[in-house]
């Protein structure tokens, strides 16, 4: 039986895998662009969690790589989210909608 104790790597991996799966589901099935964006954030934060977890349990005690990578991911995810929201706002200004099924002018 899995023990969800903060001292075990498995716990963190399990949570991050669930987050990842949720993110993939959200990114692929949501019609609302904001929902898709939330999915992207879930993906990125799942990865950040994994970095931190691996950094704690697998790397040596003085190796900061895991935490550094997690911080980088958070920063870039924030920048990407800001940019994505600006993009969605630009679309919303012209079409008053962020439904991905409806914004389909660009297709062959």
**CA gap 25, 28 in Å, rounded:** 5
Instruction: Write the CB contacts of 83 (distance below 8 Å, at least 6 apart in sequence).
Output: none
**CA gap 16, 54 in Å, rounded:** 11
Instruction: Write the CB contacts of 12 (distance below 8 Å, at least 6 apart in sequence).
Output: 49, 50, 52, 53, 56, 57
Contact flag: residue 101 with another protein (CB under 8 A): no
Determine what percent of the chain falls in helix, strand and coil, rounding each to the nearest 5: 70, 0, 25
Contact flag: residue 80 with another protein (CB under 8 A): yes
- Of the candidate residues 8, 72, 78, 99, the single one contacting another protein (CB under 8 A): 72
CA terminus-to-terminus distance, the chain? 52
- Of the candidate residues 14, 25, 78, 87, the single one contacting another protein (CB under 8 A): 87
Size of site (CB under 8 A) for another protein: 44
- Of the candidate residues 7, 61, 94, 101, the single one contacting another protein (CB under 8 A): 94
Contact flag: residue 90 with another protein (CB under 8 A): yes
Contact flag: residue 32 with another protein (CB under 8 A): no
Where on the chain is the footprint of another protein (CB under 8 A)? 20, 23, 27, 33, 36-37, 39-40, 43-44, 46-48, 50-51, 53-55, 58-60, 65-66, 68-69, 72-73, 76, 79-80, 83-84, 87-88, 90-91, 93-95, 103, 105-108
């Amino acid at each position: 039986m899995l023990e969800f104790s903060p001292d075990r790597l498995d716990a963190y991996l399990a949570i991050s895998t669930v987050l990842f799966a949720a993110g993939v589901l959200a990114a692929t099935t949501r019609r609302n662009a904001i929902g898709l964006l939330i999915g992207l954030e879930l993906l990125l934060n799942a990865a950040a969690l994994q970095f931190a977890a691996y950094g704690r349990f697998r790397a040596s005690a003085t190796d900061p790589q895991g935490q550094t990578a997690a911080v980088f991911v958070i920063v870039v995810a924030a920048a990407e989210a800001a940019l994505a929201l600006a993009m969605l706002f630009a679309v919303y200004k012209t079409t008053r909608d962020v439904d991905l099924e409806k914004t389909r002018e660009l297709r062959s």
